[in-house]
Amino acid sequence: MKKYVSISILGFLLLSCLAFKFEPINSFPLFGKFIILDPGHGNEDPGSIYNDEFEKNYNLEFARTLKRTIEKYGGTVILTRDGDYDLSNPKAHSRKRSDFDNRIKLINEDAPDLYISLHMNYLNDPKYFGSQTFYSTVNSKNELLAQKLQDRLNDFFNFKKDYKKIGNDKYMFSKIEVPGVLLEYGFMSNYKDRKNLKNENYREKLSTVICQGIIDYFT
C-alpha cells in the first residue's frame, strides 16, 4: 500500500513540475485594455514637410500599423482619425484650435486606459533619428508610461534618449485627463527614418516594441 501511495505522490509531483515548466504564456496581455491612437494633423494641416512628403500621411500609416499590432495582443483600439481629415468644426474661427478641442473631447469622453498621440519630429540637422516620448504632468501616470515606452525604444534603437516633460503651456496635452503620452516616433528630417517608416515590416517591428512598453506599463 505504501508503495502505491509513494508512486501516486511521485506522479503528482511530476505533473506539478511539468505544469509549472510548461505554463502557457499569455498571448493576449492587452486583453480588456482600451487604447486611443491619435495620428496628428490631417487635411489642410500637413504637419512637418520634407519635399513633397507630409507628416500627416506618415502619422496615419503608422497609427494603422500600431492599431493592428495592439489588437494582436488583445487590446481594443480606435483612431481619432482614419483618413486625411482633421477633427475641426467646418465653421470654426480657428481650425487648429477646433481640431485640438475635438481631439481632447473625444479622448476624455471615451476614457481609454491610455492614449498615444503620434507625431514626427523635425530638426534642421538631419543626423537625428529614432523615437522619443513626451509626457504632461496633468495625470500622475503619464511619466511612468513615458518611461516604460522609452526604455523599450532605447533598446530597439540602441541609444539612451531621455523621456521628456511637456510644458503645461501645450494646449492639447494640458487638457487630456486620461493617461497618455506624445510619441514622436521618427524624424521627418532624417532620411533613414523616412525610408524605414515607408516599410510595413519596419513599422510592425517598431509597433511591437511600443506594445512591449505598453505591456510593461500595465504590469
**pLDDT attached to residue 213:** 98
**DSSP one-letter string for 149-209:** HHHHHHHHHTS-PPPEEPPTTSTTTTS--SSEEEEEEEETT-HHHHHHHT-HHHHHHHHHH
Q: Which grid cell is 58?
A: 506618415
Q: Which amino acid is at 166?
A: I
- Give the C-alpha distances (Å, rounded to integers) separating 206 from 51, 97, 183, 212, 215: 25, 31, 12, 10, 14
Full pLDDT tens readout for the chain, 219 residues: 444 434 444 444 444 554 444 444 578 999 999 999 999 999 999 999 999 999 999 999 999 999 999 999 999 999 999 999 999 998 889 999 999 999 999 999 999 999 999 999 999 999 999 999 999 999 999 999 999 999 999 999 999 999 999 976 688 999 999 999 999 999 999 999 999 999 999 999 999 999 999 999 999
Half-sphere exposure of 32 (CA within 13 A, CB side): 3
First-residue to last-residue Cα distance in the chain: 48
Q: What is the pLDDT of residue 8?
A: 47
Tell me how far apart the alpha carbons of residues 187 and 190 are, in angstroms, rounded to a whole number.
5
pLDDT value at position 22?
45
Q: What is the pLDDT of residue 7?
A: 44
Domain boundaries, the chain: 27-218
Q: What is the pLDDT of residue 13?
A: 47
pLDDT at 25: 57
CA distances to 68, 96, 145, 175, 205 from 100, in Å: 25, 6, 22, 10, 30
For residue 22, count other CB atoms closer than 10 A to its CB: 7
Topology of domain 27-218 in CATH is: Aminopeptidase (3.40.630)
DSSP result, 24-53: PP-S-TTTT-EEEEEE--BTTB--SEETTE
